[in-house]
Amino acid sequence: MEYKHKEGRTFHSIGKRLDGIDDKAKVSGSVIYADDFVMEGMLHGKVFRSVKASARIKSLDTTAAKNLPGVAAVITAEDVPNNRAVTGAVGQMTEMGQAQTVHRYVLAEDRVRFYGEPIALVAAEDPDIAAAALKLIKVEYEDLPGVFDTEEAMQEDAPRVHNGSNIITHWGLRKGDVGKGFSEADIIVENTYTSQFQEHAHIEPESGVAWIDDDGVVNLRVATQVIEQYVEIAHILRIPESKARIRGTLMGGGFGGKEDLTVEPYIALLAWKTGRPVKLTYEREEMMYGRHKRVPCKMYYKHGATKDGKLVAMEARIIGDSGAYVYLSHWVLLYCAVLSTGPYYIPNIKVDAYPVLTNNIYTSACRSFGTMQVAIAYESQMDILAKELKMDAAELRVRNYLKKGDETGTGYRIESEVMLTQTQEAVLKALGDRTEPNAQHIKVGRGFASCWYPYGRQCRMHDASSAWVGMEMDGSAVVRCGIPDLGGGQRESLRQITSELLGVPLEKIHVISADSQVTPLAGTVTASRALFMSGNAVKMAAEAIRHDLLQKASELLKVDSEDLDIWDDEIFAFSDPKTRIPLSQVVKAAKGEGNRLEALRTFRAPATKPVTSDILEGQIFSDFTFGSQAVEVEVNTLTGRVNVIKAASAFDVGTAINPKRVEGQIEGGMTQGVGFALMEEFIERQGIPETDSLRTYLVPTSKDIPDIKSIVMESHSGKGPFGAKGIGEPTIVPTTPAVLNAIYDAVGVRIKKTPATSEKVFYHLKEGEK
């Protein structure tokens, strides 16, 4: 029985600005994170990594390391039961076929393909001994030709990273007649844009502890966005999946950095080998070169428009650097292709996207999953078109924004509300009056950008999320759901949904999450899907219990169940609130008759047939979130330094379950976006990393970010619980193009290769003087 909101009834819990379950513990430092766990007899693990980007391993000698006192085990590829087991889609619990296959070795075998590739594992009595053992491992390399540029890698005569082509796959959009569309255009704008490698830079490093319990189950307590990785652990160890268990810890950030496998296979192997608990925590330097980054892209864009500002054609070619291994970068490029058009109606479209192997560090998921890369291109193009047409940039966008019912580049018609015009107007208004420069060499500019972002995984993946809700005799409630808490309040949302439907005060609801053998599997905390999927699953389970509670209360009160409501530990008549009964009394009556008042429910997202063509058509995603951002910047023409001095962000979130948390997502996403726009870049030269710490890899501090005006809009049209939409990732998407457009507005310099560092802006300013 689906919950129907009664006319005149206000939400009791949904939409309230509530504190988090762990807020006090976090600010007091008492939260237990993965690295805080200590077990009796625990060993400490370390990973020995390649210092070559492309080489054959001629010999590997671990004898001295094994003989070092205090070393319990050294593992190489030949010791791994199934070294090529990492082939499944992240967190995917249904078969996807060969098209979903990823390729990654647990430990390098006969050759290395990127700097930092794992070669051996060490477990020792303490971290210092383990680190000393790494220095005793001897490798003789034979250098092999490498390839570090994607377009060079695409050539037939390029060095092969693996045995086959360096081009992993192709994704395309085809709509209308592009040639005809451009022939009808009065203005054609064509440019090339390039984005960079980005480090996730979460505060908490990758960390975990593994041990084998008395039942022979390999247990992992680990900071992960995906507890379903227990399947991969079982495959690597060649044990039944029932003998592997992952418990997710609270996390200090992830942003996609803890979506792929990180420490999990290494601690599992070392615990399996030694029979003792093993902890492994990455050092910051290891985080930099030892695991994946955001996919950098080169984007060739061409737009055609009529003189009255209507877009008539678009063509794009997008090339993504997958690095040395296929993990999720090929799906990032699918997102790039589908979302390459931006939130605009364009009748004629041709897009080609290619993920390409190189000997750079491998790339995979990072907040926004390919969408912010293409946003740089399409939103820069919009401003350039407006200038060519001598039209206001805001007006040009309004004339072309998608509307409900419009057809996207894949032929899917938008089903939910589209509040792009409203979000654009809100952010421009929020900036207020333009700031006057305080010196002659300071120039002030403004820019804005709009975006769209899908929440939920691809429809062809048949995504599902399960949750269990149960009432206790005293009227309290327990929620079990496998979704990990990444720090965005995932458990809080489930608690609020349960409270809204069952009338149980928040403090009497206990949420158990992220245990692959205790909680119903709910899928990954990725793709802005957590609230959409697990929220709907909890809502369905709570609705089933609510139905039974109201039926029993109807018998006890002699009132039609349709006239009953639940709140604050009581069930009462909507028409006569004086007619009421304690919730616990109804619970006891129902349980006394054998009704356990518990429900396990599975929510299934809209599903389509598997993709059988590289040309993407129809419904690829369940729904979209739309929004806009605007910034004001100061540019120092003597140094090229750019400061963001005003910022505003507006998104239609469907329904804000907790506006306080939504605002946190908006502010956090925009902060990361400013970092990507102005300073963040992981740099490699011929595959050798130059950025090895937060001294050389800059992230924004509080001095770099102004007060962000967060504007939460609600169309109540989303497909999540109570009409909610996903908001975790969209908030980073429009920031960079907004900043780039503002720089141009200030000094007339168009940065097409991010980040827009001081050096780069200064160089372009000087070039403009010539």
d(CA 255, CA 525): 10
* 560 Cβ contact partners less than 8 Å away, ≥ 6 residues apart: 554
Distances in whole angstroms, Cα of residue 234 to Cα of each of 249, 412, 464, 510: 20, 39, 22, 30
Confidence of residue 92 (pLDDT cuts 50, 70, 90): low
Question: What would you report as the CA-atom Rg of the chain, rounded to the nearest whole angstrom?
Answer: 27
The SS3 call for residue 284 is helix
Buried b (16+ CB within 10 A) or exposed e, 737-747: bbbbbbbbbbb
Residue 164 scores a pLDDT above 80:
yes
Helix axes 490-502, 536-557, angle to 10 degrees: 20
d(CA 659, CA 724): 11
pLDDT in tens, 349-384: 999 999 999 999 999 999 999 999 999 999 999 999
The pLDDT > 90 percentage for the chain reads 91
Q: Which residues pair with 293 in a beta bridge?
A: 363
Q: How far apart are the first and last CA of the chain?
A: 71
pLDDT in tens, 304-325: 999 999 999 999 999 999 999 9
Q: Residue 563 in contact with residue 574, Cβ under 8 Å?
A: yes
Confidence of residue 398 (pLDDT cuts 50, 70, 90): very high
What was the pLDDT predicted at 26?
87
Q: What integer is the mean pLDDT of 704-722?
A: 97
Residue 10 scores a pLDDT above 90:
no
What was the pLDDT predicted at 104?
81
What was the pLDDT predicted at 97?
42
Residue 96 scores a pLDDT above 50:
no
pTM for this predicted structure: 0.96
What was the pLDDT predicted at 488?
84
More confident residue, 91 or 361: 361
The SS3 call for residue 689 is strand
d(CA 316, CA 728): 27
DSSP state of 605: -
Q: Which residues pair with 432 in a beta bridge?
A: none
What was the pLDDT predicted at 704?
96
Q: What integer is the mean pLDDT of 100-113?
A: 84
d(CA 342, CA 337): 10
Q: What integer is the mean pLDDT of 187-197?
A: 99
Written as six digits, the tokens of 706 are 């102004």
Residue 101 scores a pLDDT above 70:
no
d(CA 68, CA 71): 6
DSSP state of 296: P
**Which stretch of 369-383, 603-617, 675-689 has the lowest confidence by average pLDDT?**
603-617
Q: Residue 330 in contact with residue 158, Cβ under 8 Å?
A: no
CB atoms within 10 A of CB 469: 31
Q: What integer is the mean pLDDT of 545-558?
A: 97
Residue 637 scores a pLDDT above 90:
yes
What was the pLDDT predicted at 99?
44
Longest CA span, the chain = 87
Q: From 126, 137, 527, select the one nearest 334 (Cα to Cα).
A: 527
Dihedral sign of CA atoms 664, 667, 671, 677 in order: positive
Confidence of residue 640 (pLDDT cuts 50, 70, 90): very high
CB atoms within 10 A of CB 300: 15
> How does strand 363-364 pair with strand 293-294?
parallel
* 438 Cβ contact partners less than 8 Å away, ≥ 6 residues apart: none
Dihedrals phi, psi of 495, to nearest 5 degrees: -65, -40
> How does strand 580-582 pair with strand 570-573?
antiparallel
- Average pLDDT taken over every residue of the chain: 95
Residue 84 scores a pLDDT above 90:
no
CB atoms within 10 A of CB 143: 10
* 28 Cβ contact partners less than 8 Å away, ≥ 6 residues apart: none
pLDDT in tens, 453-498: 999 999 988 899 999 999 999 999 999 999 999 888 899 999 999 9
d(CA 428, CA 434): 11
Length of the chain: 770
d(CA 363, CA 39): 34
Q: What integer is the mean pLDDT of 326-348?
A: 96
d(CA 117, CA 533): 35
Confidence of residue 761 (pLDDT cuts 50, 70, 90): very high
pLDDT in tens, 134-145: 999 999 999 999
Confidence of residue 183 (pLDDT cuts 50, 70, 90): very high
Q: What integer is the mean pLDDT of 501-512?
A: 97
pLDDT in tens, 38-49: 999 999 999 999
DSSP state of 250: P
Distance, C-alpha 630 to centroid of its chain: 22
Q: From 196, 101, 114, select the one nearest 147 (Cα to Cα).
A: 114
> How does strand 118-124 pair with strand 43-49?
antiparallel
pLDDT in tens, 198-244: 999 999 999 999 999 999 999 999 999 999 999 999 999 999 999 99
Buried b (16+ CB within 10 A) or exposed e, 693-703: eeeebbebeee
